[in-house]
Amino acid sequence: MNEILNMTALELSAGIKKGEVSCQEAAQAALNVIRTRQDQLNTFITVTGRQALERAAALDRRKGSGPLFGVPGAVKDNLCTQGLRTTCASLMLERYVPPYNAGVIDLLDEAGTVLLGKLNMDEFAMGSTSETSCFGPVKNPWDLSRVPGGSSGGAAAAVAAGEVWFALGSDTGGSVRQPAAWCGVTGIKPTYGTVSRYGLVAYASSFDQVGAICRDAADCAAVLDAIQNHDPRDSTGLPGEYGGLLAGLNGDIRGMRIGMPAQLFGDELDPQVRHRVLDAARVLRDRGAQVEECCLPAADYALAAYYVIACAEASSNLARYDGVHYGKRCAGDVGLEELYLRSRSEGFGSEVKRRILLGTFVLSEGHYDAYYAKALAARDMVRKSFEELFSQYDLLLAPVTPSVAPKLGQSLEHPARMYQTDSYTVCANLTGLPAMSIPCGQSEGGMPVGVQLIGPAFGEQTLLNAAHAVQRETHWHKLRPPCFGTGGEGT
């Protein structure tokens, strides 16, 4: 069984098309792993067992082409699924069943994939550890005493543990790349506007972007080919020519110019992480790229600007939860004002409340200029710095996180410290640029380390080729955690 589970999505789909394995067998194999691992890992909020098997049976009858045909996957529980509850891991939406599909759900359906369920996450995607979920924390398959990262922690852990062959997450400040790094899988956040946000529950709308978490770069290319498009229902969607990333994947990086911004290799960076990231840089150099250090001074403002703007947008976006239109309403016969106050206070968890408060504060009279206006100016500075760098380089290379995955419970008591783990990822969100995380080694304790590649706008092909080049030369993306599949036990 682990033979099927160990395949990439592309290998599995090829096997299905050759008749070596059926869609039903693949879906059943994955459901067996989910059943075995759910209590340990808590990756899923909702599993669509029966519907998934029915869908797989229908696909077996239909036969089809396409690189992802028949492949089981799952999506973060902030993507709306018609008739299937979408909770955002919050008491506020615990029973919410959307009347429509997110744009990407329809596209995955058209690609012939099988939806196995909805993945656990930080509440409303606010968090870096997947511990703020009202359904309990997700565990890291490499070490059950550690967090998987967040906020798409369920997505990364499920791919790492062999529960699915691919997953969709969302990346607002690093929420695809950071858990991918901590779980030893490959994650990509595409250029802002190239994947529809229609039906993605909003956190910070100018940053939110749907992304893919997979076993390797080739699978990421196939998933992006399936989900990138211009959706007029997303007012920030960008018209363009999409598709062809998988066909264009050749791993040829000869002559590619890669910069390593010194500011993203700061003193806070764990030496073990630094060494593994520099190992990846060496692989790229050996394959013909020119890699050198560069300077990104505006990066010093990035984290502060990100949190001010993200929380400001969150405070506005989450104002819609009023106990009237949908979501939780407090019990009891109370007046309208009290209904608002109690429904929101009972429905939101502490991290969400903290970010709403912070966002409300930085937008309030007397503080707007000192925080929000300054953050917008800093965002412009960061964007300009990146534009200048991309006139000299084809790609930038950096760590994904300053350290490997921390122990469960370490981060929540110190929110400011937790926010620091996003220092290297938020730049790509402030600028809207595509970025990915690929495994590049392990710590002495056996925890995965990721390297981040950041590309220019619409530079997904360049990013994927560089990632593919590294993965041709290294085996890190092929390592599996102790509790992979249904065999062995986690630590």
Q: Please, are residues 260 and 291 in contact by the beta-carbon 8 Å criterion?
A: yes
When binding is defined by CB under 8 A, the residue of 76, 215, 328, 477 that contacts another protein is 328
* Catalytic residue status for 151: yes
- Cβ pair 212, 71 in contact under 8 A: no
CB 162 within 8 A of CB 484: yes
**Span interacting with another protein, options 19-27, 30-38, 130-138, 334-342, rule CB under 8 A:** 334-342
Taking the complex as a whole, how short is the minimal distance between the CB of residue 390 and another protein, in angstroms?
20
Binder of another protein out of 53, 91, 97, 457 (CB under 8 A): 97
Q: How far is the CB of 90 from another protein (least distance, A)?
A: 14
CB of 219 to another protein, least distance (A): 34
> Per-residue contact track with another protein, 340 to 379, x per CB under 8 A?
xxx-xx--x-x--xx-xxx-xx--x----xxx-xxxxxx-
Task: Return the range that interacts with another protein (CB under 8 A); candidates 34-42, 103-111, 330-338, 474-482.
Answer: 330-338
Given 128, 133, 152, 175, the catalytic residue:
175
Asked whether 314 and 126 are in contact (CB, 8 A), the reply is yes
- Residue 63 backbone zone (phi > 0: left; psi -120 to 50: alpha; other: beta): left
Which is nearer to another protein, 285 or 353 (by Cβ)? Answer: 353
Q: Do 379 and 428 contact (CB within 8 A), yes or no?
A: no
* The one segment of 11-19, 94-102, 119-127, 430-438 that binds another protein by CB under 8 A: 94-102
Site residues for another protein, 168-207, by CB under 8 A, read none
State the minimum distance, in angstroms, from the CB of residue 456 to another protein: 21
Stretch in the footprint of another protein (CB under 8 A) among 47-55, 117-125, 314-322, 429-437? 314-322
Check if 133 is active-site.
no
Q: One-letter amino acid identity for 255?
A: G
Bin 258: left if φ > 0, else alpha if -120 < ψ < 50, else beta: beta
Q: Which of 308, 310, 447, 453 binds another protein (CB under 8 A)?
A: 308
CA distance to 107, 298, 428, 441, per residue, from 229 (Å)? 9, 31, 20, 33
Nearest to 83 by CA among 113, 58, 118: 118
Minimum distance of another protein from residue 280's CB (angstroms): 29
Interaction of residue 98 with another protein, rule CB under 8 A:
yes
Convert 66-75 to b/e letters by CB count within 10 Å (16 or more is b). Answer: bbbbbbbbbb
Is residue 468 within 8 Å of residue 220, measured between CB atoms?
no
Residue closer to another protein by CB (options 193, 459) is: 193
Binder among 167, 214, 305, 433 for another protein (CB under 8 A): 305
Q: In the chain, what's the furthest Cα-to-Cα distance?
A: 70
Query: Kindly report the CA angle at 24 between 22 and 28, in degrees rounded to 5?
Result: 125
Nearest distance from C-beta of residue 360 to another protein, angstroms: 4
Residue closest to 447 by CA, chosen among 183, 177, 149: 183
Q: Which of residues 407-466 bind another protein (CB under 8 A)?
A: 414-416, 419-420
Residue 486 — left, alpha, or beta (φ > 0 → left; ψ -120 to 50 → alpha)? alpha
Name the minimum Å distance from CB 243 to another protein: 24
- Write the secondary structure of 234-260 as one string of H (helix), E (strand) and C (coil): CCCCCCCCCCCCCCCCCCCCCCCEEEE
**Enzyme catalytic residues:** 76, 151, 175
User: Residues interacting with another protein, by CB under 8 A?
Assistant: 96-100, 232, 235, 300-301, 303-305, 307-308, 315, 319, 322-329, 333-336, 339-342, 344-345, 348, 350, 353-354, 356-358, 360-361, 364, 369-371, 373-378, 380-381, 414-416, 419-420
